[in-house]
Amino acid sequence: TIGTQTWMAENLRVTHYRNGDQIPNVTGAKDSSLWGQQTQGAWCSYENTRDLDEIATYGLLYNWYTCVDERGLCPDGWHVPSDEEWTALTEFIAPGETDQYGNAKAGGGMKEANTHHWAFPNRFADNSSGFTALPGGFRDAYKGVFQYKTFVCRYHSNTLYASMYPIGRLISTDFAGITKFTSSKATGQSVRCIQD
């Protein structure tokens, strides 16, 4: 619990929607561009690993379509956070540091406080909030390539900018802040659920 919100303490790693329907696992093993061609929910693990310890640590990557599917990506009583809920979280962690680009200091209070999972230097990380952000990297929407595991975590929201571009949050090993950004609906990113 952080402020008035309760967040999951780990990156999501479900392979089925709340109603039991399976979410397609799109590996793109023969054609990595297949990932970006999806117009429905899909998941993958980073570099399609089957290592259960890796998946347990970093979670899975989901495209934005999974986040808004009416069948529910998060368990009952939880949901993918809105842009406004992300802003409320980061403003609670680092009050007065929020602008249109994110929050200049909240990332340090959200990152796991060592270099066990984060690449060096993991600047300003103290995990004072207990959020324990982990750097699961992401999957590019266009070429389907995996990028920056151990260097960044990118989280989905359920909110669109200009009715087209999903709004997300990014935390990096190099900075104290958490950046607000937009991306393609096909980008594979981590999910943290928030309690209803």
Please give the chain's pLDDT, 196 residues, in tens: 999 999 999 999 999 999 999 999 999 988 889 999 999 999 999 999 999 999 999 999 999 999 999 999 999 999 999 999 999 999 999 999 999 999 999 999 999 999 999 999 999 999 999 999 999 999 999 899 999 999 999 999 999 999 999 999 999 999 999 999 999 999 999 999 999 9
The enclosing H or E element of 152 equals strand 152-161
Q: Give the Cβ contact number of residue 88 at 10 Å.
A: 18
At a CB cut-off of 8 Å and minimum separation 6, what does 153 contact?
Answer: 11, 133, 134, 135, 136, 137, 170, 171, 190
Closest to 133 (Cα-Cα) out of 119, 152, 147? 152
Entry pTM: 0.96
Measured CA to CA, the distance from residue 83 to residue 158 in angstroms comes to: 7
Q: What is the pLDDT of residue 190?
A: 98
Cβ-in-10-Å burial (0-12, 13-18, 19+) of 151 comes to middle
3-state helix, strand, coil in the chain (%, to 5): 20, 25, 55
Q: What is the pLDDT of residue 172?
A: 98
The enclosing H or E element of 158 equals strand 152-161
